[in-house]
Structure 1
Amino acid sequence: MIFYTFTEQHLRQFTENVFIQMGCPDTDAKLAADVLLRSDLRGIDSHGVARLSGYVRLWEKKRINARPVVKVVHETATTATVDGDSGLGLVVAPFAMKIAIEKARTYGSGWVSVKNSNHFGIAGYHALMAVEQDMIGISMTNASPLVAPTYTTERLLGTNPMCYAFPAGKYPPVVVDMATAAAANGKLEIAQRANTAIPEGWVQDAAGKTSVNPHELKAGGSLLPLGSDKDHGSHKGYGLGATVDILSAVLSGANYGPWVPPFVAFLDPPNDPVGEGIGHFFGAMRVDGFRPAQDFKEHLDNWVARFKSAAPIDQEKPVIIPGEPEYAAEKERKKNGIPLIDAVVDDLNALALKLGIAGLS
C-alpha cells in the first residue's frame, strides 16, 4: 500500500469539479466539497473524497438529484421537517441544521428531521455548525441496512451514526461522533482496499459466526452492533441504532430499517418503500438557555482538564477526550497535506477521466 499526499486546496478543487460535472450549482458543489474535505482533514478517511465515486454512481442511476429544491414541509416554532428532494445529503443536511440553529437562536432550541435525502458525510460536520454559535449540536442519520440486531443474522439497521458536539473555552470542542455499529462500513472498505484482516467483533458471517474477513458483507454476512456480540453488550448498540433510525426516519417520513436504500449503486432500493429516501435528525440548543455560555465553557474546560489528567494504564497512552484525535489530525493535515492510499487515488483518477476533468496527478 502506497500513500500519496495532496494539499487541502488541491483536493477541494478536484472535489468541487466532480460535483459541478454532476450538474450541481457552484454553491452546492463548494458546500458538498467542504463536507467531504472536513472528513479527510479530521482523519476520517472512510467518509471523505474516497466516497466521491459512490455519489457519482448514485447520480448516474438517477438516485441523486444534483439540483434539488430543498424545502420545509412541516413546521412549528421549535421543530421542522425538511424534504431533501433526493439531493446530496452533503447539501441537504447543512440546510436542515441551519434551520435548527435559527430556531434555537430565537426559542432556545431547534429540532429538524429530514426525509428524501442521501448520505450526508460525517455527522460531526453538522453538529459543529451549532458549536460555532455557542450551541450544543446534535446530528444523526440512518443508513443502508448492514447491521444485524442482537440475536439475528438479518440486516435490519444501518451503521446509524450520531454526534453530540459541545463548545469549550481554551480547549477544542468535545465531539462524540460515532457509528452505532461496532465499526463503520467505510472502515471495512479501507481494509478491503488494503487487503488486510479486520478486528474480531466487527462482523459476523451469514451463519452468525464472528469473522475477520473484510469482504464478509458481500458473502451474506452482517456488521455487528456497537458492543460486538450478545456477550459483550451488543443490545446497547442495537438500542442506540434503533433510536437513530426512529428519530431520523420514522419521525420524518423517510425509509427505515430494511427499507433504507443502499449507498452502493449496483443494488437497487427495495421495491416496497415505506418512506422517501434516507432520513436525518438535527438538534441545536443554546448553552445560555441553561446557564451563561462562558460559565459552561469554563466548566467544560475544567472537565476536559480533569479527564486528561486521569492516571493512564499505559504511560504511552493517555486518556483521549472525544474529538481530540480528529482536532489534532485537522491541524496536522492542514499544515502537511492529506494522505490518500494508492487505491483511492487510482479510483479518483479513473473518475476524473470518465467525467472529463483534470485528475489528481
Structure 2
Amino acid sequence: MVDAPDFPTVAVGIELLRKCLEQAFSAVGCPREESMLIADALIQAELCEVTTHGVFRVPGYLDGLASGRYRTGDHSRIQQTGPASILIDAQNALGYLPAMQALDGAIEVAHELGVGIGGVRNSNEFGRAAYYVEAAAAQGFIALIFGNTLPLLAGPGGTVATHGNNPFAFSAPGEDAPLFDAAWTPRSGGEVGRRRLLGLPLPLEWGYVDSDGQPTTDPAAAQLGVQTAIGGAKGFGISLLVDMLAGTLTGAASGPGVPRDNSEVGTFILVLSPRVLGDFGDAWPSYPSQFGSAAAAVRASGARWPGDRSRAARTANLDRGWVAVATAILERAVDSMTRVSPSAAEPLAVLLKG
C-alpha cells in the first residue's frame, strides 16, 4: 500500500535521502552516531507514511541545532540510578540520541534482570515513538515508551491548556505483535502543522477548536486553540499518566511547567523480557501465535490491527526503493539544508527541478 496524496510529491530514493540527511546533520555538529540515528528515524517515518515525523521535521531540527536552540547528543550525561534503571540528562539535546541511549541501557539491564527502565530529562522531542519500541521488539523484548510535551490539552470542562498530548507507544516480539503509537489529541501537532503547510483543512469531526473555542477546520486557527483529549476524561487521564512517568518521575519539566518551546521534557522507557514472570514467561513462544489469532479476528471484523498500516506501507516503499515526499515539504527541507550544507541539499534540489 502506498497512499495516493492530494498534493504534488517528489519521488526521493531512500538511500539518497539517507545520505543527504546524514550529511546535513553532521554539518550542524552532530556526531556520526547521532546523524545516522536521526536520519534513520526520519526515513523510517517516511517509509511507514507517518510523514508528520519525517522530512517535515528537518527544518526545525537543523535550524534549532545551528542556532544553539538544541545541543547535540554528545552533551548528554548517563547515570546509573539503580540496579534496573538508567537516567540520561540530555542537557537540552534533541531527543533522539538520549532516548536511544536510555533504550539501549534498559535493554542491557533487561537481559540480566528481566526488566529495565530508562529515563531522560532536560530533553526535546524524540520523533516517532514507535521507532524505539520496534527496535526493542526486534531484539526480543516487550517495550513501552512515554514522552511528555508542552501543554496542549485542557482538563475535562476546562478552557486552559495544562498538559501535553503526551505520546506513548508499545510493542512486543513477533510478526503479528501489536505496534501501537498514539498521542491524546485527535491527531498529532505535526499533522496540524503539516496540513497548514500543504493548505489542507482539518476534518471537522476531529474536533479542533480555535482560540474562541469554536469548531474549526483551519489548521492555523487550531494551533491557537486549546484542545480536549480524545476519550474525554479517560484520554486526559492517560495524558496525566504519561506526564507523571516521563516528566515528574525523571525530573523533567511536567504539566503546565513545560516551556512553550517544548524543551526540558522527559522520556520514560520500560523494557521487559518475555520471561520476566517465570512460568508465564516460559510460555512466551505460544504468545506470537496468540497475537496472530487476535490479529486475524480483528482483521476479519474489518478493522486494522495496530501496526498493520505502517508495516504494509514500509514493505511497499522498500520494495520500490523510494518515498513520495510532498513538494512543499521537500522545498522547505532543502532550504534549511542549503543554509547549513549546500552540498547535502544539492541532490534533493535537483529532484525538485525535475
| C-alpha spacing 1:76/1:63, structure 2 compared with 1 (3 Å) | same
Amino acid in the other structure paired with 1:188 = V
> Could you tell me whether the CA contact under 8 Å between 2:62 and 2:337 is conserved in 1?
no
Could you tell me how far 1:22 is from its partner in structure 2?
Answer: 0.9
> Could you tell me whether the CA contact under 8 Å between 1:142 and 1:158 is conserved in 2?
yes
Pair 1:291-2:297 in alignment: no
What is the 5 A alignment of 1:293-332? 293-310=284-301, 318-332=302-316
The corresponding residue for 2:115 is 109
Could you tell me how far 1:326 is from its partner in structure 2?
Answer: 0.2
| C-alpha spacing 1:355/1:61, structure 2 compared with 1 (3 Å) | closer
CA displacement 1:181-215 (0-9 Å, x = unmatched): 22101111121122121022342222323222111
The corresponding residue for 1:273 is none
> Could you tell me whether the CA contact under 8 Å between 1:112 and 1:281 is conserved in 2?
yes
Local SS of the residue matching 1:164: strand
d(CA) in 2 for partners of 1:22, 1:259: 29
Gaps of 5+ in 2: 1-6
d(CA) in 1 for partners of 2:108, 2:73: 24
Amino acid in the other structure paired with 2:214 = K
Local SS of the residue matching 1:238: helix
> Could you tell me whether the CA contact under 8 Å between 1:58 and 1:263 is conserved in 2?
no
What is the 5 A alignment of 1:17-36? 17-36=23-42
Amino acid in the other structure paired with 2:106 = A
Local SS of the residue matching 1:305: helix
CA displacement 1:281-312 (0-9 Å, x = unmatched): 101111122323312222222222222223xx
The corresponding residue for 2:200 is 196
d(CA) in 2 for partners of 1:85, 1:92: 9
> Could you tell me whether the CA contact under 8 Å between 2:66 and 2:340 is conserved in 1?
no
Could you tell me how far 1:99 is from its partner in structure 2?
Answer: 1.0
d(CA) in 2 for partners of 1:82, 1:245: 17
d(CA) in 2 for partners of 1:67, 1:135: 25
CA displacement 1:296-345 (0-9 Å, x = unmatched): 222222222222223xxxxxxx2210010000010111122211111111
d(CA) in 1 for partners of 2:154, 2:209: 9
RMSD between aligned alpha carbons? 1.7
> Could you tell me whether the CA contact under 8 Å between 2:55 and 2:330 is conserved in 1?
no
d(CA) in 1 for partners of 2:17, 2:156: 40
d(CA) in 2 for partners of 1:321, 1:172: 9
Bigger mean CA deviation after superposition, 57-66 or 81-90: 57-66
Amino acid in the other structure paired with 1:96 = A
CA displacement 1:75-125 (0-9 Å, x = unmatched): 111223221122221111111001111111111111122101111010001
Structure 1 segments (4+ residues) deviating >6 Å: none
Amino acid in the other structure paired with 1:308 = R
Bigger mean CA deviation after superposition, 12-21 or 301-310: 301-310
d(CA) in 2 for partners of 1:248, 1:236: 18
Local SS of the residue matching 2:43: helix
> Could you tell me whether the CA contact under 8 Å between 2:176 and 2:295 is conserved in 1?
no
What is the 5 A alignment of 1:2-13? 2-13=8-19
The corresponding residue for 2:131 is 125
Pair 1:68-2:74 in alignment: yes
d(CA) in 2 for partners of 1:258, 1:217: 19
The corresponding residue for 2:327 is 342
The corresponding residue for 2:84 is 78
d(CA) in 1 for partners of 2:341, 2:65: 16
Amino acid in the other structure paired with 1:356 = S
> Could you tell me whether the CA contact under 8 Å between 1:23 and 1:67 is conserved in 2?
no
Give 1:250's match in structure 2, choosing from 241, 248, 251. Answer: 248
Could you tell me how far 1:217 is from its partner in structure 2?
Answer: 4.0
Given the two structures, how large is their TM-score scaled by the length of structure 1? 0.88
> Could you tell me whether the CA contact under 8 Å between 1:216 and 1:222 is conserved in 2?
no
Give 1:237's match in structure 2, choosing from 226, 235, 238. Answer: 235
The corresponding residue for 2:259 is 261
The corresponding residue for 1:274 is none
Local SS of the residue matching 1:11: helix
Aligned length: 334
Pair 1:357-2:342 in alignment: yes
Q: What is the identity percentage for the equivalent residue pairs of Structure 1 and Structure 2?
A: 25
Local SS of the residue matching 1:210: coil
The corresponding residue for 2:227 is 223
